[in-house]
Amino acid sequence: MERPGFGVRGSGFGLEKTGFRPRKIVVAVGLLCAAANTAAGLPTWSFDSGTEGWVAPLGGSLVAEDGKLVFRGDLAASNPLAIAVSDFGALAGARRLSARLRSNGLPGLSLGLEERDGSSYVHEAALVAGDWRQLSLSLSEFRLDEEGEGLAGRDENGRLDLEQVHHLVLVLSGAGEVELSIDEIAFEGEKSGPAGERSFRMGFTPFPFEFSLEAVEETYGRIREHGDLDVHHLDEGVPWPEALEGGLSPGAQRDLEFRVAHLSGNRRVFVAVTPIADSRDGLAKYRGDSPNMERPDGWEGKDFDDPDAIRAYTNFCRAIVERFHPDYLAYGIEVNLLAEKNRDAYSRLGTMAREVYRTLKEERPDLPVFLTFGHSGAAGEDFSAIRELLPYSDLVAVSTYPTREDALSDRWLASVRALAPEKPFAIAETGFIAEDLTILGHTQPGNEAGQAEYVSRLLQRADEQRAEFVVWFVPRDYDRLWAQWESLGAPNELAKIWRDTGLWDGEGRPRAGSQVWDSWLSRPPR
C-alpha cells in the first residue's frame, strides 16, 4: 500500500512542507508546545484543563474526557487524518519522550520528531487492544526516516537536533473507526533515580567463561548483581531410562543439585528444558554422567510420539518443578527450528507437546508452561510451525539473535508477538556480537557501540511489548573457554557465534551495553 505523506494542504499549519511519511497508514497527532505545561523547562501535557492546544484540522474529533485527550476518526477511505500544530518550545536537555496511551485495537504505532529542515526522525512502538501502555522512549533511539519525500529523507547535519524540532507526530496503523486516548505525554531530562518502570524481569544464564569452579562461581556472582531473575537453561539431554521410572541419572542429579544450591532464594526463577537435541534435528540425547551422551540401549530408535518418551519427559519436567519451584517453565527450546530440519519429527513433537502440556497444567494450573520459538525478524519469516504449537504454550517466548538490520526493522518482535497478542510475551534468550565474527569463511562486522545500540533497542521493544522477562544468554565473552576447547581438539566452529556476545569482554571488563542493561535494571519492575 502506498504511504500517504503529511504534506497536507490547506490546514493552516504549514504541513504541506513537512514531508513526514510514516511507514504505517495513518493517524497523525501533533502537539503545540506553547500550550503545554512545563516541568524543569520541558513540555508536558496532562489534559486536566482541556485539550491544551491540540487541534484536528483535517477531520476526526478531539475531546478532553476525565483528564485524558481522546481522538476519534474514520480511516475507512484510507485518507490521512492529521492533528498537528507547529513551533515547539525549548527542548534543551530533553532525553526521553514518555507517554501513556490506549488504542482500540491498532497494534502499530510510529512516533516522529520533525525538524525545521524537513527531516523526520521516527520511533516504532506497539499498542495492545484496549490496554493502557506506558512508553518511555530515548530520543537517541529515534532514527532518520530515509524513505520520506523531499527533505524528509535527508538531514542537514545527519543527527536529531532538538533545537530544530517543531513537530511531534504520533501515527497509528489500521483502517476503519479508530480511537486513541492519551493520558499524559511529556519530554523528560536526565533523572537521578530510576527512569520510570519496566514490565520485565532481567536475567542471564550461568554460562561460564572457562572450565573452572572459580569461573562458575564468578559467573553466578555477576548475574546475581546484574539481574533480578534466576535463569537455568538445560539443553544437555534427558535422563530417559531413569526418568521413565520416576528418577534421574546420577549426573543429572548432581547437576540439578548444584544449580538449585545457587538459586538466590529471593527472586523469580525461569527454567528451560527441552526434549529436542541441541542440534535441533531430533529427539534429545541422554543426560548421563556427561551432557548429550548417546541414548542407551532401547532408546536409540524412539521418537517424540513414543509413549515411553512422553512419559519419561513428563516425569523429567515434574522433577524440574519439584526441585526449582519455578515461576516460569519452558518445556521446549527453539522448537520451531526442528521443523526446518525434520518436518516429520516436528509433527511427532506435537503429540508429545499436547500430552506434556495437558498433564503439567492439570497438576500445576498456576504455573506458566510454555515453549520457546526461534525468531529472527527477517523479511519473509515463516511462522507456520510456531502457529502449530502455540496452543500448547502459555507464553509467546522467543529466542532471538537478529542481525542489526533485522533488529532495526518494524518486524522484529512485533511480528511474532502478533501471532497471539492475548498471551504474555517474553524474550527467553538473546545476544549480539560486540566484535567481528568470522565463521565458515564469512565475516559479520561487530563492535561495542553496535551491541549497546542493540541492548537499548531490545529493552525498549521488550517494554513496549510488556514482556514478562528478558534473558541475555552469555554474561561474559568465553575467549578462555574457546582456548580450552582448542587445546582439546578442534572446537565446534558454530560455537563462535556466541563467543563475543557478552556484556563483559573476555577479560571481564564491562562493555557499554552492560551500562544500558544496568540502567534498565535500576527501574523497578511493574
Indicate which CATH number applies to the domain containing 34. 2.60.120.260
Rounded to a whole number of angstroms, the CA Rg of the chain reads: 25
Query: What digits encode the pLDDT tens for the residues 427-456?
Result: 999 999 999 999 888 899 999 999 999 999
**pLDDT mean across residues, the chain:** 84
Tell me, yes or no, whether 443 lies in a domain: no
Neighbouring C-alpha atoms within 13 Å toward the C-beta of 158: 0
- What is the C-alpha to C-alpha distance for residues 459 and 479, in angstroms, rounded to an integer? 26
Supply the pLDDT for residue 82.
52
Same domain, 281 and 182: no
* Position 193 pLDDT exceeds 60: no
**Domain shared by 40 and 151, yes or no:** yes
C-alpha cell at 131: 490496554
Domain endpoint, select from 427, 449, 464: 427
| Angle at alpha carbon of residue 143, lines to 141 and 144, rounded to 5° | 155
Residue 151 lies in a domain: yes
Examine residue 159 and state whether it is found in any structural domain, yes or no.
yes
Neighbours of 467 (CB within 10 A): 26
136 and 281 both lie in a single domain: no
Q: How would you class 19 by CB atoms within 10 Å of its CB: exposed for 0-12, middle for 13-18, buried for 19 or more?
A: buried
The helix/strand/coil state of 250 is: helix
Task: Verify that 168 and 313 share a domain, yes or no.
Answer: no
| % of the chain residues with pLDDT over 90 | 54
Range with the poorest average pLDDT among 173-177, 284-288, 366-370: 173-177
Same domain, 183 and 279: no
In this structure, the answer to whether residues 304 and 409 fall within a common structural domain is yes
* 295-299 mean pLDDT: 96
Give tens-digit pLDDT for 89-102: 677 778 888 888 88
**pLDDT in the model for residue 335:** 98
Inside any domain, residue 451 = no
Mark whether 173 and 34 lie in a shared domain.
Answer: yes
Domain count for the chain, please give it.
2
**Per-residue confidence at 12, pLDDT binned at 50, 70, 90?**
very low
Q: Tell me how far apart the terminal alpha carbons of the chain are, to the nearest angstrom.
A: 38
Secondary structure (3-state) at 414 = helix
pLDDT reported for residue 439: 87
> Which of these three, 361, 392, 427, is where a domain ends?
427
Whether the per-residue pLDDT at 180 is higher than 90: the answer is no
Answer for the pair 57, 110: CB distance below 8 angstroms, yes or no: no
Burial of 170 by CB count in 10 Å (0-12 exposed, 13-18 middle, 19+ buried)?
buried
pLDDT value for 177: 81
Query: What distance in Å separates the CA atoms of residue 67 and residue 51, rounded to the nearest whole number?
Result: 9
Q: Does residue 298 share a domain with residue 162?
A: no
State whether 277 and 412 are in the same domain: yes
Q: Kindly state whether residues 166 and 290 are assigned to the same domain.
A: no
Question: Distance (Å, rounded) from C-alpha 398 to C-alpha 375?
Answer: 6
Lowest mean pLDDT among 27-36, 254-263, 462-471: 27-36
Q: How far apart are CA 199 and CA 134, in angstroms?
A: 10
Answer yes or no: is 223 within a domain.
no
Name, in order, each residue with C-beta under 8 angstroms of 148's C-beta and a sequence gap of 6 or more.
5, 19, 20, 21, 119, 120
Reply yes or no on whether the pLDDT at 351 is more than 80: yes
Identify whether 218 is part of a domain: no
Q: For residue 377, is it within any domain?
A: yes
Q: Mean pLDDT over residues 13-31, rounded?
A: 37
Q: Which residue has the higher pLDDT, 415 or 135?
A: 415
The residues, any chain, with a CB within 8 Å of residue 14's CB and separated by 6 or more, are 86
Is 403 domain-assigned?
yes
Q: What angle do CA 292, 298, 302 make, to 5 degrees?
A: 70
Residue 55 shares a structural domain with residue 160: yes
| pLDDT higher than 90, residue 256 | yes
Q: Retrieve residue 34's grid coordinates.
A: 506553547
Helix then strand then coil, in percent of the chain rounded to 5, is: 30, 25, 45
Residues of the domain holding 171: 15-188
Q: Which of 39-43, 103-107, 180-184, 333-337 has the highest mean pLDDT?
A: 333-337
Q: Please check the confidence at residue 27 and state whether its pLDDT lies above 50.
A: no
Residue ending a domain, choose from 168, 188, 208: 188
The mean pLDDT value for 364-392 works out to 94
Contact present, 500 and 520 (Cβ < 8 Å): no
Whether pLDDT at 24 is above 70? no
Residue 109 grid cell: 504505532
- Give the pLDDT confidence score for residue 263 in this predicted structure: 96
CA 472 vs CA 224, 303, 437, 482: distances in Å: 13, 31, 18, 19
Instruction: Kindly state whether residues 277 and 385 are assigned to the same domain.
Output: yes
Non-local CB neighbours of 171 within 8 Å, separated by 6+ positions: 22, 24, 26, 27, 28, 29, 109, 110, 111, 112
For residues 491-519, give the mean pLDDT: 92
